[in-house]
Each structure stands twice: as C-alpha cells, then as structure tokens.
C-alpha cells in the first residue's frame, strides 16, 4: 500500500515544478477569465506568448532572493500585468495598448478617493514586494537576463516593420477586425507588442500622407460646397457623455418609464442608433469620429487626440470655418482632459470654452454651478447657459452661421447623483444576485438628463428653427460589471456589436428624423448632406460582413492617416486656413 502511494506521488512530482505550476496556473486563470467575458485563454499561444511568459518567470526567479515563497514573488509582476489587461478588457471591452498609458492621468482624475486607494494597494503592493525581493547587488545576472527583453523592445520601437513581418510569418493569422480574437491566437503580451510596432510603423509613414492630394482635393471640394451655399443654416452638435437609454435593456425591470415625457413627446420615438468606436470610456475616440468623419483606428496613439499638436487638419470644423462658419466648442470638463484644447484647435474650432472654475481668468460663458455630491457638471446647468449664449450670438451676428459643438460630462462613471436635488424616483430590478447600483443611478440620471435635453432642444427650435440639431451618446458606460451587464440584461437583444450601439437623435428644421443604424464617423457627412440638400449615403453599411468592412476601411485608412499626419504637425505645411490658431493655453 505504501509503495503504491509512493509510486503515485512520484508520478505527480513533476507537477510540483515551479515552471509547470506557473504555466498551469496561467492556463487555468485565462480559461476562467474567458468564461466570465474576459480575454481568451492562452492555451493556443505556444509560438511566442507562452515562451515569453516562461522566460520572464525564469528571469524573475534568477534575480530574486531564494525562499520558500520565491516562486510566488517571481510570478507577481506577470500576474499583475495579466490582471491589468483583463480588468481593462472587462471594463472597456478592448485590449490595452502601450500608448494608452498616457490615459492614466485622465483615469486617475475621474476616480474616487476610495478607488485610488484600492488601485494603489492592488498595483503598488505586489510591485513593492517584488522590488524588495530583488538581489540588487547581483548586477550581472540582472543585466544579462534583460538582454532578450531589451532585444524585443528595440525591435518593436526601432525596427517595427521587421518585427511585424517576422510576427506575421511566425504567428497565427491576425484577425484585423478584432484584437480579442487575435489575443486568442497569439496572447496578450504578443499582440500588445505587435500593436505597438504597428503604431510606430504608422508614425514613420505619416510623412507620406501630408501631401495626399486625393484627400486634400476632396476636402477643398467640401469647403467650396459650403462656401458657395446661399443659405448657411446653423449646426448644433451635442455629444452626450455615457447617455444610456435604459429602455434598450430587454430584461431590466423599471418602476416607471425612465424617459421624461417631454423628451418622448419631442422626438416621437424617432431615436436612432449609432456605432461608437469605444465601449465604457475613451470619449475622445468618439469625438474624433464625430468631428473627422473617419474611424478612430488607434494606429498612432491609443487616443488620437493625445497626439494632436494644434496644427490644422482636415476635419468638419475646419471645412465649416473655411466655408464661412463661426466654429465654437464647449466642453464641460477640464481643458487638459484628453488634450482637448490642442485637439479642438487642430480640428478647426475658433473659440473653445471650458467652465470658468477650471480655467480662471479666461474667456468663457460657462460655469459648473453647484456640483456638490456629483463632481461632474449637470446637463441642466450646462445646456441653458449654452442656449443663452447661442441666442445672444444669433441676435448680435445676423447672417453669420454657427457651428455649436458641446461635449457634456454628466453621466460619467460612477454616476454620482445628488438625491437632494434629483431624488431617486425610479427603481431597477431584474438584475439577479449581482445588483448594480451604478445602473440604477444611471437610470435616474437619464430621466433628469432627458428633461434637460427636451427643454434645451425646444429652446433651440424657438430661437433657431432652420437648423440641424444632433444629439449623440459618446459610448455606453461600463457600469459595475462591464460588458457582462449588457449581455445579462439583453441590451438590444444582443444584436451584432451591441455594446457599441448608442442613441442618436436628429432634428432638421424643427422636424425629428430617423436614419438606419449609422457609425459615429457618418455624422460629418450627415451635416454636409443637410447643408447641401443632398441625400446622405453611409460611409460603410452597419451590417456589412467583416471582409467587406475590412475592404472599405482600407480606403478610409488613407483618409485617417492624412488627417493624423497634419494633426501631428507643428507647422501646417500645405495650406493656410485663413485664421490664427487658438492658443492652447487660453481656451479662447
């Protein structure tokens, strides 16, 4: 009997090896994460990802102090990296990229103190333990072990085309329409390196797009069309932060209709759907598409706005500015959020307004009002101020057309609501054991937001009846459980790409209209079609098959690269827009 047990234990002994245990842990971990809606398992990623993980684990074992818990300490930074990848995906539905590290200040800025403390403990704790375990005096093993990792970094950063070519030859095929599927084939770290190499390669190639005569000619044609118009109607384009319509959840039970009656009466159930490039966050990506008319492809940065310098580029506000419009942007949050001041300047806004509380002493018509217990400026404070500003503009500038662009911020995670001012009048149920209080707050916010929007739109229609008004949500919020909430509550019947579907409302000359599902990047063309009295044709049909989308997007990529090439310039090299740039520091 004892001999038999020894034989059994002898058979299981190899499993006690730290490297086998490490690998089994990651396979099991990623299988579990995949089952709850996370990134795919690594069990297929044997060509680069798994060898890379084993190399890192071996290296960390070599440089840390020997002890009974060394196998755990050596795994800490690798586990932490995977945890961050998976948490990011669970919250935002996409693969984290190297360039998105620049978003950290924005993320920290909107986090509550409690979340900041938790984040510091979760991220900082393991790193402190790991750093304390390193044998810093063993310089040679540390440096020698770094050589393979440095070689990879150098290849990605300085020889991106060669890295991409080798990657594509040795790894499984990349799914161009889905980072997540590619991760299933190649792994998290591997695809992150590939995406970074692709970004670096695109940066190098931007010079070739600065003289893209085809797109520049198309841009000039649009300017001429607008300039030649006898009547130039005003444009009111409002991008709404996390404007979630609770009625689109088929399994969510609500104590009353969350839409304010005035909003329902105004739009008469003619709300449409628009596909956002993002889920849960990265508002600037939605803004980029809405204002530039091309997909936010993330080829040059995780957030396109982050690399704008203020140099003029070929987007809707510049078309309108050159065509005779006065272009203004109103943003309800901080001017350094997503580099918005430089971005708005480059897009072509001649005036940029932020709340005076965030830019003391600068020209503005905007004040946050009382943000007690909410932090973010309420739409019901923002929109009346804009309405008064527009009414004054129309009165004092007869015959001068206006592009009035607004980026709201109320409704941002974690959906704080001042219940003294805005009581919780709607109860939400049907969520099972995983009750999401953020969703219930968002439902109540929606009621008060639709009330404010109805008043605002009715006011615009009174003072500016011959105009186009577009309300569009930037993205749906992540809520507490990310995409899982949308799946479990049957958002839009889980139609294709449902987590990117957002509400859009359009009023032309006082009449609400409804379009078939569009993309955010169709909005500039909707506006140009309205102004020129031509039929709107979607850039890319929302229901196209993946191969068709890839083919069509390849053409849009040239437009994207041309826009980005000029946006990243410090000196406009091929044309002068006829008005001075807005100084990035004064918000005017």
Measure the N-to-C terminal CA separation of the chain; round to a whole number of Å.
86
pLDDT at 542: 45
H helices of 241-298, in order, are 261-267, 283-292
pLDDT at 78: 95
Parts of the chain belonging to CATH 3.40.720.10? 228-567
pLDDT at 337: 77
How confident is the chain (588 residues) per 10-residue block, as mean pLDDT? 51 64 93 86 89 94 93 94 86 70 64 78 89 92 93 92 91 72 89 84 77 81 90 96 95 94 93 93 93 89 80 92 95 82 90 86 87 92 97 93 96 93 92 85 96 97 96 94 90 91 96 94 95 83 45 72 82 34 32
pLDDT at 204: 79
Q: Is the pTM of this model over 0.75?
A: no
pLDDT at 6: 52
The CA-based diameter of the chain, rounded to the nearest angstrom, is: 100
pLDDT at 230: 87
Q: What are phi and psi of 204, to 5 degrees?
A: -65, -35
Considering only CA atoms, which of 477, 479, 457, 456 is closest in space to residue 468? 457
Query: Are the beta carbons of 474 and 287 closer than 8 angstroms?
Result: yes
**Parallel, antiparallel or unpaired: strands 467-473 and 428-429:** unpaired
CATH superfamily of this structure's domain 228-567:
Alkaline Phosphatase, subunit A (3.40.720.10)
pLDDT at 2: 53
Residue whose structure tokens are 């003289």: 211
Query: Are the beta carbons of 219 and 387 closer than 8 angstroms?
Result: no
Among left, alpha and beta (phi > 0; psi -120 to 50; other), residue 249 is beta
pLDDT at 103: 61
pLDDT at 571: 42
Query: Are the beta carbons of 434 and 479 closer than 8 angstroms?
Result: no
pLDDT at 579: 31
pLDDT at 109: 66
pLDDT at 178: 62
Three-state secondary-structure class, residue 63: helix
């Amino acid at each position: 009997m004892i001999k038999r047990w020894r034989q059994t234990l002898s058979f299981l002994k190899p499993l006690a090896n730290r490297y086998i245990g490490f690998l089994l842990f990651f396979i099991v971990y990623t299988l579990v994460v995949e089952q709850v809606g996370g990134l795919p398992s690594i069990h297929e990623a044997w060509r680069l990802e798994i060898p890379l993980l084993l190399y890192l684990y071996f290296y960390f074992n070599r440089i840390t102090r020997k002890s009974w818990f060394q196998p755990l300490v050596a795994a800490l930074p690798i586990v932490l990296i995977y945890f961050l990848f998976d948490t990011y995906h669970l919250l935002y539905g996409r693969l984290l990229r190297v360039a998105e590290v620049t978003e950290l200040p924005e993320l920290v800025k909107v986090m509550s103190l409690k979340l900041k403390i938790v984040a510091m403990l979760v991220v900082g704790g393991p790193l402190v333990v790991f750093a304390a375990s390193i044998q810093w005096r063993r310089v040679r093993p540390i440096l020698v072990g770094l050589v393979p990792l440095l070689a990879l970094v150098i290849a990605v950063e300085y020889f991106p085309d060669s890295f991409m070519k080798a990657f594509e030859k040795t790894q499984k095929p990349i799914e161009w329409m889905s980072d997540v599927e590619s991760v299933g084939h190649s792994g998290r770290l591997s695809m992150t390196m590939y995406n970074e190499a692709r970004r670096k390669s695109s940066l190098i190639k931007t010079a070739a797009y600065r003289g893209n005569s085809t797109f520049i000619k198309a841009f000039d044609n649009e300017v001429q069309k607008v300039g030649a118009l006898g009547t130039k109607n005003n444009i009111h384009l409002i991008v709404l932060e996390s404007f979630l319509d609770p009625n689109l959840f088929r399994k969510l039970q609500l104590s009353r209709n969350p839409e304010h009656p005035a909003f329902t009466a105004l739009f008469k159930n003619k709300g449409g759907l628009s596909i956002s490039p993002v889920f849960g966050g990265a508002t600037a990506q939605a803004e980029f598409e809405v204002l530039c008319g091309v997909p936010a492809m993330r080829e040059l940065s995780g957030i396109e706005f982050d690399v704008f310098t203020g140099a003029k580029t070929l987007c809707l506000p510049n078309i309108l500015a050159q065509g005779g419009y006065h272009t203004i942007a109103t943003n309800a949050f901080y001017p350094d959020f997503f580099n918005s001041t430089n971005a708005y300047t480059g897009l072509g806004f001649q005036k940029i307004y932020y709340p005076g509380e965030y830019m003391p002493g600068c020209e503005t018509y905007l004040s946050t009002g009382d943000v007690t217990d909410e932090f973010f400026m309420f739409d019901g404070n923002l929109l009346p101020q804009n309405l008064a500003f527009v009414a004054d503009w129309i009165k004092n500038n007869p015959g001068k057309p206006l592009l009035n662009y607004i980026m709201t911020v109320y409704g941002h995670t974690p959906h704080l609501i001042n219940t003294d001012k805005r009581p919780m009048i709607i109860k939400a149920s049907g969520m099972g054991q995983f009750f999401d209080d953020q969703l219930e707050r968002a439902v109540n916010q929606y009621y008060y937001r639709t009330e404010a929007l109805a008043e605002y739109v009715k006011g615009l229609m009174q003072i500016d009846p011959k105009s186009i008004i577009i309300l569009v949500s930037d993205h749906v919020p992540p809520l507490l459980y990310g995409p899982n909430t949308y799946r479990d509550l049957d958002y839009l019947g889980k139609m294709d790409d449902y987590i990117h579907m957002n509400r859009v409302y359009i009023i032309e000359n006082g009449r609400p209209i409804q379009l078939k599902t569009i993309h955010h990047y169709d909005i500039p063309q909707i506006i140009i079609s309205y102004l020129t009295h031509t039929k709107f044709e979607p850039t890319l049909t929302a229901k196209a098959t993946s191969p068709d989308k890839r083919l069509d997007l390849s053409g849009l990529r040239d437009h994207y690269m041309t826009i980005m090439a000029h946006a990243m310039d410090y000196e406009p090299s091929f044309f002068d827009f006829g008005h001075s740039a807005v100084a990035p520091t004064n918000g005017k």
